[in-house]
Amino acid sequence: MTLICSGIDPALEQRTLISWMASLNEVRNACAHHSRLWNKALTNRPGFQKVGQLTDFDHMRNGRGKIHDHHSTRLYGALVAIIFIMKRLHPKTEWHQRFATLVTEKTLPKEISTLAAGFPEGWRDASIWK
């Protein structure tokens, strides 16, 4: 497992990747079974490392450096974990940009707003989405 983590990013800790896999499994199952996902709290929330270790996630932190629960327990936390892995394994991926365009250009009902999915304010400006 350590080899897999270092292959993704040398700073990625094993326990972080394990939590991401559990979270992504839950997201996958919700999608496969056509379950509600957009405004649902994840049972298996992804874990995130200390501030500054993986800076792509620092935009989800509050003023004291803690990941805000609403961002990590909702779909947004799983999405940024997916993007992080995809960008490391396939640097030329544009999936995250296409996803962001879809979310920002579609008129969505308030029940499936970005806020309901845990997206922080200013999320489009975060480095992970570039």
- DSSP calls for 36-69: --TTPPPSSPPP--STTTSGGGGGGB-TTSPBPH
Per the listing, tokens 């993007």 go with: 83
Average pLDDT over residues 21-27: 97
For 104-128, the pLDDT digits (tens) are 988 877 777 898 899 999 999 999 9
Q: What is the DSSP string of the chain?
A: -HHHHHHH-TT--HHHHHHHHHHHHHHHHHHHTT---TTPPPSSPPP--STTTSGGGGGGB-TTSPBPHHHHHSHHHHHHHHHHHHHHH-TT--HHHHHHHHHHHS---GGG-TTTTTPPTTGGGSGGG-
Tell me the one-letter amino acid at 18: I
Per the listing, tokens 């919700």 go with: 30
Domain boundaries, the chain: 2-129
pLDDT at residue 77 tops 80: yes
For position 36, what pLDDT does the model report? 87
For position 47, what pLDDT does the model report? 96
pLDDT band at 66; cut points 50, 70, 90: very high
Q: Is the pTM of this model over 0.85?
A: yes
For 34-46, the pLDDT digits (tens) are 998 888 899 999 9
For position 111, what pLDDT does the model report? 72
For 50-59, the pLDDT digits (tens) are 999 999 999 9
